[in-house]
Amino acid sequence: MSLDIAPSFLYMLLMAIKRIGILTAGGDCPGLNAAIRAVCRAASDRYGMKIIGIANGFRGLISEDAKVLKPEDFSGILTRGGTILGSSREKPFGSDDKDEVASEKVSAIMDTYSNLKLDCLVALGGNGTNTTCSKLAREGLNVIGLPKTIDNDIVGTDRTFGFHSALSIATEAIDRLHSTAQSHSRVIVIELMGHKAGWLALYAGVAGGGDVILIPEIPYDINVIASHLEKRAKSGKTFSIVVAAEGAMSITEMQMDKKDRKKYRLENGPSAAYRIAAEINAKTGMETRATVLGYMQRGGIPSASDRVLATSLGTAAADLLANGRFGRMVALIGNDIGSVELTVPEGKVKNVPANHYMIDTARAVGTCMGV
Ligand code: F6P
């Protein structure tokens, strides 16, 4: 018997992890069902565990909305978008950082965990979810986190599933904008998701050949963007595509305090693309349009690459369960699947580093990064 197998075999014999709860929380993304299927199949077929599906993220854990999942419940879902379990943005600890204060919701979660006789909870989610998991682990629950998000912004894992599928959708959208921008000799600003990180805009911008890419990590100077667009126009390029992350901000906005920035934003359009389009038009006089891709980026079937990552992370989570290795988040580390302590992603955001090679790649092909 190999050393790898021995601890899990022993753990199963001694501790017998029999019942696990599984939930999906936060914004959905392609690949969630593939991951649910992988956790459930490996946990039940390989390790003989019983799976309890919890509805709508932590909301279902608070209200004890749960049911036993049978094999037919997690069969045929590999390619399906969304999550069969439902999701919500419920944050049981609230949004402040007083994690030592066990709220009523946290007590309700403890009750549900014990009423359902769970031996462990597996939670699939983004930054908020993994932070909640870490806090629940400190409250004494056995918890395993499984990272997902189209934003790719979770510390501790090199990539999240959902990102690759969203990247394909965003790239196709940018491709499609080229023909209409060209026909009308316009500047089109497309806004992509990503929350406070610029991964999606940077990668889709490069893949779709955006002329300007704006990410939150590099506050932009509207004068630099204007002169880049004017130079393009003078060289005979009749249109331009600006790819902006939803969190993109100007140097001017960055220098404002939070209150003034909020006020400025409320007065200058519903979101980043509209603000940036208005600023470009005001500086250059060019006909400029804004478009927001929105929830399309999160919907639909997962890419092959996301299915593979989701399945690998799901089966790795089942291995952690069998080994009794709680308080951890499964992760892609280099080319391998591993895990990190849940404290690693807690309360953090993985931003695009200033020296990331993709920023230089974009610049090397003539893309303006806003400064
Ligand atoms: O976290 C994923 C994400 O899709 C972000 O890119 C976006 O800012 C957010 O969710 C939208 O959230 P909601 O579903 O709450 O509107």
Q: Do residues 74 and 85 lie in contact, with contact meaning Cβ atoms separated by under 8 Å?
A: no
C-alpha to C-alpha distance for 288 and 277, rounded to whole angstroms: 6
What residues contact residue 237 under an 8 Å CB cut-off, 6+ apart?
211
297 vs 6, residue with greater confidence: 297
For ligand 1, atom 16, which residue shows the shortest CA distance? 27
Average pLDDT, the chain: 94
d(CA 45, ligand 1 centre) in Å: 34
What tens digit of pLDDT does each residue of 186-198 get? 999 999 999 999 9
What tens digit of pLDDT does each residue of 233-253 get? 999 999 999 999 999 999 999
What tens digit of pLDDT does each residue of 211-231 get? 999 999 999 999 999 999 999
Spell out which residues line ligand 1, taking CB within 6 angstroms.
Answer: 27, 89, 126, 149-151, 193-195, 246, 298
Residue 42, Cα to own-chain centre: how many angstroms?
Answer: 24
Query: For the whole model, what pTM was predicted?
Result: 0.94
d(CA 233, ligand 1 centre) in Å: 35
C-alpha to C-alpha distance for 255 and 333, rounded to whole angstroms: 36
Would residue 151 show up in a list of annotated catalytic residues for this protein? yes
Instruction: Indicate which residue of 28, 99, 119, 151 is catalytic.
Output: 151
Give residue 92's pLDDT: 95
Show the tokens assigned to 47. 């390790």
What tens digit of pLDDT does each residue of 89-109 get? 999 998 765 544 458 999 999
C-alpha to C-alpha distance for 191 and 42, rounded to whole angstroms: 39
What residues contact residue 48 under an 8 Å CB cut-off, 6+ apart?
18
Q: Do residues 251 and 280 lie in contact, with contact meaning Cβ atoms separated by under 8 Å?
A: no
**Nearest atom of ligand 1 to the alpha carbon of 298:** 4
Nearest one of 122, 137, 140, 57 to 330, comparing CA atoms: 122
In the structure, what pLDDT confidence band is assigned to residue 2 with cuts at 50, 70 and 90? very low
C-alpha to C-alpha distance for 83 and 55, rounded to whole angstroms: 10
